[in-house]
Structure 1
Amino acid sequence: MALHSIALIFIFQFLQIPGIDAKVSSVIVFGDPTVDSGNNNFIPTVLRSDFRPYGRDFDGGRSTGRFSNGRIPTDFISEAFGLKPTVPAYLDPAFGIKDFASGVCFASAGTGYDNATSGVLSVIPLWKELEYYKEYKSRLEGYLGKTKANKILTEALYIISMGTNDFLENYYVLPYRSFEFSPKDYQKFLAGIARSFITEIYHLGARKVSLTGLPPMGCLPLERTLHGGICIARYNYVAKEFNKKLKALVETLNDELSGIRLVLSNPYHVLYNIIQDPQSFGFETAATACCGTGRFEMSYLCNEHNPFTCTDANQYVFWDSFHPTEKTNCILADHAVRTSLAVFK
């Protein structure tokens, strides 16, 4: 057995992510690169990860399009709920509606709530993810019949995870939104889009929904590299303030939408704790990533020809300059399963 596999088995046993006897029929995913299981492989964009060393620790060492060395949080969450250990990408022709009946991912790396964010790197906008979901719903009804399909969709766990790109790849980089909105107003703008999106999937059958908050985005290796090696406090402040708005939105929609169970899964504090004291979680460093020099590389800058890539990703909190390692993803998934997602047991 490979050393990596042995290490991951130890991690999983230590974390004890529970298999949950739950009435969750499927995991349905919307979002950005933290949860994209490979949709960007099938669209014309430069933001891809379907090459080595991405996926080098995935089952079979396959580069699936996940922005990690292995699995991503939604894979672990699916497995924890007694479903399959990976959630397939909707655009991947290797999978069909039979595979998607128990889990499907519509996420696209580089996207956000704001349509302008998806335009930066020509990825799938949120409205298009919704259109794919509607198409999927129709296909599922054709495959299983309307009654059974609707039962699956009603009992599915819907995971929405995005927002970081709206700030780090759009608002703080390009002039348009920052001229139009103050940071506070932009947060309100994004929360309004989140509200509309959740309301729409509710009317399409969603009842169990997890809305994911922002991480400490000022502490990502790329941002630290650009700002002298330290976490950017104002970015982290914006993340925390936006998470407060999402929490308020969750409370409001739980009151307004009859029968919905909407939760906020907030990764901010657990990831911040890992970044501040990586050794306590079994890591060596959070300041730099595994791939390349660990300071700025991601996507095509993180490739198998880069001589600096680390040999053991389990020692690093981040895989590339923007995205966590599989080990970190496992910890974040465990935290979500034990806290916000526990209501779906």
Structure 2
Amino acid sequence: MSSQVVRYWPLILMHLLLSSGSGATAGKVPAIIVFGDSTVDSGNNDYIPTVARGNFPPYGRDFEGGVATGRFTNGRLVTDFMSEALGLASSVPAYLDGSYTVDQLASGVSFASGGTGLDAMTAKIASVISISQQLEYFKEYKERLKQAKGQAVADEIIAEALYIFSIGTNDFFVNYYVIPLRRAQYTPTDYASYLVGLAEDAVRQAYELGARKVMLGGIPPFGCVPAARTLNREAPGECNEEYNRVALRYNAGIRDAVVRLGAELAGARVVYLDVYDVPSAIFASPSEYGFENVARGCCGTGLIETTVLCGMDEAFTCQDADKYVFFDSVHPSQRTYKLLADEIIKTTLQVFLA
């Protein structure tokens, strides 16, 4: 080492220390922290009194070990594939699963609950975990992390983690259309605006708790899920285009919210998570993606079964879920989730890795 370098080494070291502060750092994601509904529930509903569960066959049959973990599909979720792509665990643990240690939860955790929504009423319908309670669990998680790892390490994990919000479909499909509780109070446009406001509030609360890298998801074209096709009175078996228009309207609002949040939340990076375009492309040309069935789920008759009904009709369940876009009448198959994850990893995730 030259004498000049030795002479200035203390200054160089101080610069390196100061530049590695608590702000979000590009390219560094030590954990993935998830809020939402059944699209990202790793099994939290297994530990609460609700019928909205997926901890029995045929769910999980293509998961490692063939275990029904509580994920509402035959295998892994988008967030599991994203975690693996980040060099973390191959699956994201459910927070309420007591078999995981704090060390395991330190690199990823899901607070999500199948059947929930942004609207507190949606969570009440299915007796599941509201988004506000998920944020309370996050507070608890932070404290557990501090106790196990120490304040400095815990603060770094919280600041550098990737936060994903995947929620909103149940608010429309269940709480507005199937059980029209909110339809008596709101037009579709007004309800979409109300939900966008709730989504913004959830991100703000996560920000106050330390979140700095946030993906705020839209919702998929839920008018094309098998259950929606079955319930489509005007064109049975076809996509309900009204539902899809509502999804697009809501997604436009979420995009605008992302811009507002990005301008408002100092030091945070908030990006829109598109979960509409990939499924739409698959619905338009399923054979191009290797699918043989887009209108029915693999489970049971594929027309209406989900959660407990899926378990009751196991004898009718398909042999190869990879040929099906959906595993049950509402939830995508592992292969569909993988295709969506691949697109997210290739595009949106890179924002946080550049």
TM-score per shorter chain, which class? over 0.9
Contact 2:300 2:313 in 1 (8 A): no
Pairwise CA distance, 1:306? 2.8
Pairwise CA distance, 1:296? 0.6
Match of 2:111 in 1: 106
Which secondary structure does the structure 2 equivalent of 1:317 belong to? strand
Match of 2:198 in 1: 193
Contact 2:57 2:314 in 1 (8 A): no
- Identical residues among aligned pairs (%): 51
Distance in structure 2 (CA, Å) of the matches to 1:138 and 1:306: 42
Contact 1:112 1:164 in 2 (8 A): yes
Which secondary structure does the structure 2 equivalent of 1:264 belong to? strand
What is the 5 A alignment of 1:32-71? 32-71=37-76
Confirm whether residue 281 of structure 1 aligns to residue 302 of structure 2: no
Residues 94-137 of structure 1: CA deviation (Å, up to 9, x unaligned): 11211110000000000000000001110001110000000000
Pairwise CA distance, 1:174? 2.6
Match of 1:22 in 2: 27
What is the 5 A alignment of 1:110-121? 110-121=115-126
Query: Amino acid of the residue matched to residue 209 of structure 1?
Result: V
Confirm whether residue 266 of structure 1 aligns to residue 271 of structure 2: no
Confirm whether residue 247 of structure 1 aligns to residue 255 of structure 2: yes
Distance in structure 2 (CA, Å) of the matches to 1:174 and 1:322: 16
Residues 278-309 of structure 1: CA deviation (Å, up to 9, x unaligned): 11001111111111011111111112753211
Contact 2:58 2:314 in 1 (8 A): no
Contact 1:26 1:103 in 2 (8 A): yes
Query: Amino acid of the residue matched to residue 203 of structure 2?
Result: I
2:215 corresponds to which of 210, 218, 225: 210
Pairwise CA distance, 1:176? 2.8
Distance in structure 1 (CA, Å) of the matches to 2:41 and 2:261: 26
**TM-score, normalising length from structure 1?**
0.93
Match of 2:14 in 1: none
Confirm whether residue 146 of structure 1 aligns to residue 151 of structure 2: yes
Distance in structure 2 (CA, Å) of the matches to 1:225 and 1:307: 21
Match of 1:229 in 2: 237
Which secondary structure does the structure 1 equivalent of 2:184 belong to? helix
Contact 1:263 1:341 in 2 (8 A): no
Match of 1:92 in 2: 97
1:343 corresponds to which of 334, 342, 351: 351
Match of 1:319 in 2: 327
Residues 252-282 of structure 1: CA deviation (Å, up to 9, x unaligned): 1101111111011111111011012111001
Distance in structure 1 (CA, Å) of the matches to 2:181 and 2:304: 24
Residues 74-112 of structure 1: CA deviation (Å, up to 9, x unaligned): 000000111110000000011121111000000000000
- From the superposition, tell whether residues 238 and 305 of structure 1 become closer, same or farther in structure 2 (CA, over 3 Å): closer
Match of 1:5 in 2: none
Query: Amino acid of the residue matched to residue 286 of structure 1?
Result: V
Distance in structure 2 (CA, Å) of the matches to 1:222 and 1:157: 32
Q: List alignment gaps of at least 5 residues for structure 2.
A: 1-25
Pairwise CA distance, 1:175? 3.4
Which secondary structure does the structure 2 equivalent of 1:202 belong to? helix
Contact 1:291 1:308 in 2 (8 A): yes
Distance in structure 2 (CA, Å) of the matches to 1:118 and 1:234: 24
Distance in structure 1 (CA, Å) of the matches to 2:221 and 2:51: 25
Pairwise CA distance, 1:200? 1.0
Which secondary structure does the structure 2 equivalent of 1:170 belong to? helix
Pairwise CA distance, 1:22? 3.5
1:301 corresponds to which of 292, 302, 309: 309
Query: Which one is further off, 175-184 or 195-204?
Result: 175-184
Distance in structure 1 (CA, Å) of the matches to 2:266 and 2:68: 42
Query: Amino acid of the residue matched to residue 102 of structure 1?
Result: S
Q: List alignment gaps of at least 5 residues for structure 1.
A: 1-20
Which secondary structure does the structure 1 equivalent of 2:35 belong to? strand
Which secondary structure does the structure 1 equivalent of 2:314 belong to? coil
What is the 5 A alignment of 1:153-168? 153-168=158-173
Match of 2:80 in 1: 75
Which secondary structure does the structure 2 equivalent of 1:167 belong to? helix
Match of 2:189 in 1: 184
